Amino acid sequence: MWLPKALPALLALLVLLACAQVSAGADANDSLIRTFLRIGPFDASEPINLSHVDDRVMDSKGSGRHRGPNATHPDRPLMSGVALSFLEGPVSTVLMPSFYALVCLISVPINISALLAFSRRIRPKKPAAIYMLNLASADLLFALLLPFKISYHFSGNNWIFGEALCRVVTAAFYWNMYCSVLLIACISVDRLLAVVYPIDSLAWRRPRNATIACASMWVLSLAGSLPLVLSEQSLYVSELKITTCHDVQSSQLMWEYKLYFLLLSCLLFFLPLLITVVSYGKVIWSLSRVHCGVPGCSRRRTRAMVMALTVLVIFVLCFMPTNCLLLAHYLQFHQGVTTTQEAPDGSYAMYLVFLCVGSLNCLLDPLVYYFGSSQCQKQLSTENLPRGIPGIESRDGVSVESYGRGTLCGRLTTVFFPVVYITVFVVGLPANALAIWVFLFRTKKKHPSSIFMANLAVADLLFVIWVPLKIAYHLNGNDWVYGESLCKVLVAFFYGNMYCSIAFIACISVQRCKAVLHPLDKRGGSGAAVGVSAAIWLLVWLITVPLYLYDQQVLVTNLGIRTCHDVTRPSQKETAAGYFLTMGTLGFIVPALVCIVSYALMLKALRKSMTDPTITRMRRKAVALIVIVLVMFLVCFTPSNVMLLVHYSLLLSGSPNTLYGAYVTTLCLASLNSCLDPFLYYFISEDFREHVKNTFLCRSERAVERMRVSFSALKFSKKSSTYTSESGNTGSTDC
């Protein structure tokens, strides 16, 4: 049905390829590098000796490195300043890998959850479910490849895994990206057939045909990426002394690469884009013309239209800039190289940036296709799965299904949770109280980092003092007996502490980054730190106000208990879901990105300073500490916030919430941050440990200062007990 509409695009594609072939004939031997271009002074009247271009030798690991700077020929063209500055600049070495890391951390668990749901829960398999199952697989494979990209960019665009793995990762990267594009196009066609031609498409919309279509998309995208496996991808850049992967290529296959990427973009993106736009456009147009006389029909129609428009916008925003810049980059070769002798490196740098931004697609797909699809919800609900939370609301309260009963009455919440919270209270209360005492009464110089740490300790302590209520609640079989007001206070302090801690940890990371990168910059001192801390407290208080505006205590009628925040009334699910989805996005993702960027900049600066052997050991200790702090932050807060987003997305869409146990478990484990912070932020400081020691020994600050002066004088007297005078006499001296 859509083939006649796509026929003009196919003809235009053939014309475009023919023009590209004709125009490339003249410059096939003049253009030198496919991606970042190397252009240098050479006499065009003299023939170019290709042996000077292909003077690489493979090392023992097969990484494709040159012999080093001496392997370059004096006539060898150099890379442009744009390319060099981008390869060693903060955009490619800090921002891009940080963004990739954030996408990887969030998208992997979400896509695994979607994959398990579609593979195990849906019977029988519908065409839409088959397409979404394959899309989840493609997104998951894409996310699993991101650690290689993260390591590559964090290492200064230096590839250390060898030539073979470089080829595989590069090909798989494009393979998964274009496979996602093709599968999204298949989903759009399936939606078109289901909405516009519901009767005529019954013969086509069968599981067998959907499986064949998905297999064809995998094979087509694999065939499209196969040339990348067969060609060399790593290249040693002598100017920067790094080995790039795919970003810089030799000139031997310039024409083949140019034709390849033009063909790849047109066939595997622009043609699917045309199909997707036409399909969803016709779906939206058809839905807008439907007249609803049945109650609720108008709402379902509006939901379907918004859903189709959202999918279309996400697809265009994630993939169009990347492929348009890729196409423009290669179309610039003929005019830019042969006429102006300028490399189109700026367009390729922009392409890499938008390729990084486009990776958001593997994070957004689950939320849009899996958790937001009404057809998916209907298919899952037909399995009579336990709905868990929120349950069925009545005048007296809420009745939960079997899964909810198992969670609320099981050992997970009545035994394991109290043990965790008891540990948090026993360790966190004295540790944070001691930290606050030291910062307030034993530390004279209030540095910005000390101010942020003191506020972090206060936030942790304010949470810990309410933990006994959580312990009693869970030990009592999740039965809340302290009233609605205390329940609201407990919930507000729980989430307030979490997001306040995240904010102060982000401030500490920025302050440490500033101290490492600009040690002589005295701007933003203690006054600024106090102002920022006050602003964070005010902001956190404001964002927790909505938690006081709706009921947190719910009577579970079929269990005879009153829960605190664990059960959401169906009538309040939209309010709760909207609030927590916003908080999870702004309260975690933005500070997490700030922390990753800050610590990445510090690691880069410390790595460059490891040239002096005398400070290498100290720098390695600092690097190890930075890595531990960053990992602790991500481990404590990433699972809880990811599961929070998934939980409330399921709650808002009305889908079965079989992940509720995992959600509350990650929230419980996130509270361990309150007892880990003192050891990672306070007790690692030598000055702080000294203050703690003096506190336990009941030494005053004046006594400590006298001891320090006496020790310094004794140390000086030992060093100057003997000396050689100008007259040659040796003796002792008195002060």
pLDDT in tens, 671-696: 888 888 887 766 556 666 676 676 66
- What pLDDT does 614 receive? 59
Most confident of 44-48, 181-185, 309-313, 386-390: 181-185
What is the predicted pLDDT for the residue at 703? 54
Helix or strand (DSSP H, E) at 678: none
pLDDT(96) > 70:
yes
In a shared domain, residues 148 and 282:
yes
Total count of domains within the chain: 2
Asked whether the predicted pLDDT for residue 422 surpasses 90, the reply is yes
Tokens of 125: 């398999």
For 57, phi then psi, to 5°, come to -130, 145
Verify that 314 and 418 share a domain, yes or no.
no
The answer to whether the CB of 377 falls within 8 A of the CB of 307 is no
Whether 384 maps to a domain, the answer reads no
**179 versus 403: which is more confidently predicted?**
179
Residues of the chain with pLDDT > 70, as a percent, come to: 64
When comparing pLDDT for 375 and 202, which is higher? 202
**pLDDT higher at 137 or 391:** 137
Average pLDDT over residues 65-81: 44
Q: Are both 322 and 410 inside the same structural domain?
A: no
Element (H, E) at 38: none
| 515/137: higher pLDDT | 137
Residue 724, in any domain of the structure:
no
Cα of 537 vs its chain's centroid, Å: 26
> What pLDDT score does 323 carry?
82
Looking at per-residue pLDDT, the higher value among 370 and 196 belongs to: 196
Best-predicted range by mean pLDDT (57-71, 352-366, 412-426): 412-426
User: Taking 90 as the threshold, does the pLDDT of residue 622 lie above it?
Assistant: no
**pLDDT above 50 (res 288):** yes
| Domain annotation covers residue 42 | no
The pLDDT of residue 426: 92
Position 630 in a domain: yes
Please check the confidence at residue 119 and state whether its pLDDT lies above 80: no
Residues 226, 92 share a domain: yes
Does residue 710 lie within any of the structural domains?
no
425 plus 359 within the same structural domain: no
Q: Is residue 244 part of a domain?
A: yes
Q: Do 318 and 368 sit in the same domain of this protein?
A: yes
> What integer pLDDT is reported at residue 50 of this predicted model?
36
CA–CA dist 600, 81 (Å, integer): 24
Which residue, of 676, 694, 712, is where some domain finishes?
A: 694
Q: Which structure tokens are listed for 487? A: 């329940």
Query: Out of 119-123, 173-177, 485-489, 542-546, which region has the weakest mean confidence (pLDDT)?
Result: 119-123
Which stretch of 542-546, 665-669, 715-719 has the lowest confidence by average pLDDT? 715-719
| 408, 373: one domain | no
Are 373 and 396 in the same domain? no
What's the CA gap between 20 and 28, in Å, rounded? 11
Please say whether the dihedral angle defined by the alpha carbons of residues 626, 628, 632 and 634, taken in this order, is positive or negative.
positive
pLDDT score at 218: 92
Is residue 226 included in any domain, yes or no?
yes
Decide if pLDDT at 252 tops 90: no
Degrees (nearest 5) of the Cα angle 679, 680, 686? 80
For position 339, what pLDDT does the model report?
A: 45
Which whole number is the average pLDDT over 419-432? 90
**Are residues 480 and 620 part of one domain?**
yes
Where residue 609 falls among pLDDT bands split at 50, 70, 90? Answer: low
Tens of pLDDT, residue by residue over 292-350, are: 655 556 666 676 677 777 777 778 888 888 888 877 776 765 454 444 444 455 566 77
Q: Average of pLDDT values for 256-265?
A: 80
Average pLDDT, the chain: 72
Element (H, E) at 555: strand 553-556
| DSSP one-letter string for 618-647 | HHHHHHHHHHHHHHHHHHHHHHHHHHHHHH
What's the whole-number mean pLDDT along residues 698-727?
Answer: 48
The tokens for 101 are 């890391």
Structure tokens at 272: 């699917």
Rg from Cα positions in the chain: 31
Which range marks the domain in which residue 274 is found?
A: 3-36+54-68+78-377
CATH of the domain at 664: 1.20.1070.10
* Segment 430-435 mean pLDDT: 87
Query: Contact, 147 vs 104, CB < 8 A?
Result: yes
Final residue in a domain of this structure, among 318, 346, 377: 377
Q: At residue 540, does pLDDT exceed 60?
A: yes
Q: Is the pLDDT of residue 228 over 90?
A: no
Q: Residue 8 pLDDT more than 60?
A: no
Higher-confidence position of 391 and 501: 501
Tell me the C-alpha distance between 563 and 470, whole Å: 11
Are both 123 and 175 inside the same structural domain?
yes
The fraction of the chain above a pLDDT of 90, given in percent, is 3
The three state secondary structure string of 173-215 is HHHHHHHHHHHHHHHHHHHHHHHHCCCCCCCCCCHHHHHHHHH
Do 85 and 145 belong to one domain?
yes
Q: 3: which 2 tokens?
A: 């083939």
- Position 52 scores a pLDDT of 40
Rounded Cα gap, residues 565 and 488, in angstroms: 8
Q: Residue 145's closest CA among 121, 166, 129?
A: 166
Tell whether 48 is covered by a domain.
no
Q: Which residues, at least 6 apart from 73, have a Cβ–Cβ distance to it below 8 Å? A: 52, 55
CA dihedral defined by 570, 575, 577, 578, rounded to 10 degrees?
Answer: 150
d(CA 574, CA 564): 18
Q: Which of 630, 627, 591, 592 is nearest to 607 (CA)?
A: 627
Using DSSP's 3-state secondary structure scheme, residue 325 falls into helix
pLDDT at 569 over 60: yes
Same domain, residue pair 408 and 349: no
